[in-house]
Chain A
């Protein structure tokens, strides 16, 4: 089967070109095809961008074990509706993804749905208890692309060191959810002006930074690749800048909500703005945006963390941390393009090119001949209200529900197949 995408503005990490993309089967056959090329399906993309399918290195699909929040199928539907064609689910499932059987279960379930590719992140320690290493070799062979105890930071520096060292032997890497739990205490939002005003207990930025510093040093010690996930503060970025300038093998990611929203959202005690790390101050947001612009930050991820409405409809302190994000990553990231902070190639670098390289999936992340035909056709001008009819996740815990957004995937193409089409009335 052949598909022709006509009149695209083809965006790659290094340039934007005008052209027609010919897909043959699962593979991109040409990016310079004639507009009259014979194909089984032709989509006119005039005025629209063709970007490599987004690759989200940080999601929580709750499957197995907590399928009332999300499962692999609903998560995949939310992903493709957001132009995302590959995701890395974190290991905090029930049971924890700390063995090859669960890793393979996840991958197979996603393959059966055929919507996205799923590359699991395995647990760094057994049961995410922070004590014994998991069988990283076996899990890597089973398809795990990295290791992390996301949500339960590894307290012991020794354990973290050994995990990083061991993972590197299998060509893999570790992902650090940097948080000093002893400093976070009973905190529920950023410790700043808003925590002082609202009486909600604060989590200082230093709670993240102190662990980022440790994990950078563990990378220095071991030479292993350490990826710092969902960074939220200016201080963290300063540390990462330093690490990179020293040539340490450190990378990092940021979520759209951390570069878009500030602690001010919490003045209303909205549990849909409760996440960990918390929304920080304006100066942090400014620093993160600058980091995206200048390349200090390697990629944008969602930290898509679905929770059942009943769980969020509680006293603020009792509500769980986390928001969904797969369907809002594209518009919130495109907002940076519209503001002129980043250009379209940088957008692609942050949302697909770099993530693909971090997990060593070089068959994607580019629109080029021979690459996998994972493509999102993006209308950057489309304005719409993100409502329940558009929402594909099982959960609705996002501050953007009911809000006006700009920019969406009109078509999401996974391995040459159209897996999502935006419902334009």
Chain B
């Protein structure tokens, strides 16, 4: 099992083996986060730049912690998505950062495809921390790691993803990765938030909340962002909560030990009711914990990866 790519851009193009390798490696890193001394010298001397063209605190913090626990020098660079505001193109911004001899860029951008575009124009390694509506690969990995820890497996599980599928990079990454690993994914949300051509996902698109949660092993509730996705898609958060939110009653239709997940931050009382978010079924904080391990794994795999030189097999 190896991962030979320069970048981690998304789940769509990865093989099942590459995804499993990332998960295995992430699982190993969970141990470091439980220690008293949560630091290994692995990426000492490497520079990781968190290049965020879209505001984010938790993902950026998670990557920052991950980098620091691997002893990399982690620098945050926040810029505007709109290149016109500074008069500098995206690639110029990246090349400037690269010229400072950075090794890895963790990039978030509000436009789909922008991170891939950066990766094609730099020799530095790129980790996609979310691009537009396209992908958020480390979120998919931490979701799967959390599920696997909870259920002991992935194959054959029934996973429901509920919310704004059209505008969710989390949903896309989850769908691409999970379907490759034999998970049965079902999608549900307001009709205005399900792509017209959702058949490309190869998932069951449910017609009701009941159908979506019934017998599910895992329920992933997506964050609803009314202010961002336009007020045309749902009339009110109150109505959203009523028809698309996860309540105790709805949860009762799922398997008794169903795992409830959410990429965060949660809108309590909208997509997720507090008594569900705080219940024993909730894996939300476990996801956050696993997020660090997943990002350490990603930084480690890309950070040490090069094809120069050979291993001294007997260097004992």
Residues B91 and A199 in contact, CB atoms below 8 Å apart = no
Taking a contact as CB atoms closer than 8 A, the residue among B83, B111, B117, B197 that contacts A196 in the complex is B197
Residues B200 and A316 in contact, CB atoms below 8 Å apart = no
Residue-wise, chain B 128-154 has the 8 Å CB interface mask toward A (1 for contact) of 000111110000000000000000000
Closest approach, in angstroms, between the C-beta of A314 and any C-beta of chain B? Answer: 7
Q: How far is the CA of A265 from the CA of B109 in the complex (A)?
A: 22
Residues B113 and A315 in contact, CB atoms below 8 Å apart = yes
Q: How far is the CA of A237 from the CA of B32 in the complex (A)?
A: 63
Residue on A nearest B167 in the bound complex, by CB = A199
Instruction: Report chain A residues within 8 Å CB of B90.
Output: 314-315
Q: How far is the CA of A256 from the CA of B255 in the complex (A)?
A: 55
Q: How far is the CA of A204 from the CA of B196 in the complex (A)?
A: 10
Is residue A40 contacting chain B, with contact meaning CB distance below 8 A?
A: no
Taking A196-B201, A199-B172 as contacts, is the C-beta distance between A315 and B196 under 8 angstroms?
no
Is residue A36 contacting chain B, with contact meaning CB distance below 8 A?
A: no
With a 10 A CB-CB cut-off, give which of B90, B111, B135 has the most chain A CB atoms.
Answer: B111
Is residue B305 contacting chain A, with contact meaning CB distance below 8 A?
A: no
Q: How far is the CA of A199 from the CA of B131 in the complex (A)?
A: 9
Instruction: Report chain B residues within 8 Å CB of A197.
Output: 12, 200
Is residue A301 contacting chain B, with contact meaning CB distance below 8 A?
A: no
Residues A198 and B83 in contact, CB atoms below 8 Å apart = no
Q: How far is the CA of A197 from the CA of B166 in the complex (A)?
A: 10
Residue on B nearest A269 in the bound complex, by CB = B113
Q: How far is the CA of A313 from the CA of B196 in the complex (A)?
A: 30
Is residue A317 contacting chain B, with contact meaning CB distance below 8 A?
A: yes
Instruction: Report chain B residues within 8 Å CB of A318.
Output: 82-83, 111
Taking A313-B89, A314-B90 as contacts, is the C-beta distance between A196 and B195 under 8 angstroms?
yes
Q: How far is the CA of A354 from the CA of B12 in the complex (A)?
A: 46
Residues A191 and B135 in contact, CB atoms below 8 Å apart = no
Residues B111 and A317 in contact, CB atoms below 8 Å apart = yes
Is residue A193 contacting chain B, with contact meaning CB distance below 8 A?
A: yes
Taking A269-B116, A316-B112, A317-B112 as contacts, is the C-beta distance between A192 and B197 under 8 angstroms?
yes
Is residue A251 contacting chain B, with contact meaning CB distance below 8 A?
A: no
Q: How far is the CA of A315 from the CA of B110 in the complex (A)?
A: 10
Residues B134 and A199 in contact, CB atoms below 8 Å apart = yes
Closest approach, in angstroms, between the C-beta of A210 and any C-beta of chain B? Answer: 16
Residues B200 and A199 in contact, CB atoms below 8 Å apart = no
Interface residues of B in 49-98 (CB under 8 A from A): 81-83, 89-91
Instruction: Report chain B residues within 8 Å CB of A317.
Output: 111-112, 114, 132
Q: How far is the CA of A327 from the CA of B110 in the complex (A)?
A: 35
Is residue B198 contacting chain A, with contact meaning CB distance below 8 A?
A: yes
Q: How far is the CA of A310 from the CA of B113 in the complex (A)?
A: 17
Is residue A102 contacting chain B, with contact meaning CB distance below 8 A?
A: no
Is residue A195 contacting chain B, with contact meaning CB distance below 8 A?
A: yes
Q: How far is the CA of A202 from the CA of B82 in the complex (A)?
A: 20
Residue on A nearest B165 in the bound complex, by CB = A196
Residues B197 and A316 in contact, CB atoms below 8 Å apart = no
Closest approach, in angstroms, between the C-beta of A237 and any C-beta of chain B? Answer: 20
Residues B91 and A313 in contact, CB atoms below 8 Å apart = yes
Taking A314-B83, A316-B117, A318-B83 as contacts, is the C-beta distance between A199 and B89 under 8 angstroms?
no
Q: How far is the CA of A202 from the CA of B196 in the complex (A)?
A: 10
Is residue A200 contacting chain B, with contact meaning CB distance below 8 A?
A: yes
**9 residue pairs, one from A and one from B, having the closest CB atoms:** A199-B133, A269-B113, A199-B134, A199-B112, A196-B195, A315-B111, A317-B111, A196-B197, A315-B114
A-B contacts, 25 listed (Cβ < 8 Å): A193-B199, A196-B196, A196-B200, A199-B134, A199-B135, A199-B172, A200-B134, A201-B112, A201-B133, A202-B196, A269-B116, A269-B117, A310-B89, A313-B89, A314-B83, A314-B90, A315-B83, A315-B90, A315-B114, A315-B117, A316-B111, A316-B112, A316-B117, A317-B111, A317-B132
Binding site for B on A (CB under 8 A): 191-193, 195-202, 204, 269, 310, 313-318
Known: A193-B197, A197-B12; 20 extra A-B contacts, CB below 8 A, are: A192-B197, A195-B195, A195-B197, A196-B196, A199-B134, A199-B172, A200-B112, A201-B112, A201-B133, A269-B116, A313-B89, A314-B89, A315-B81, A315-B109, A315-B111, A316-B113, A317-B111, A317-B112, A317-B132, A318-B111
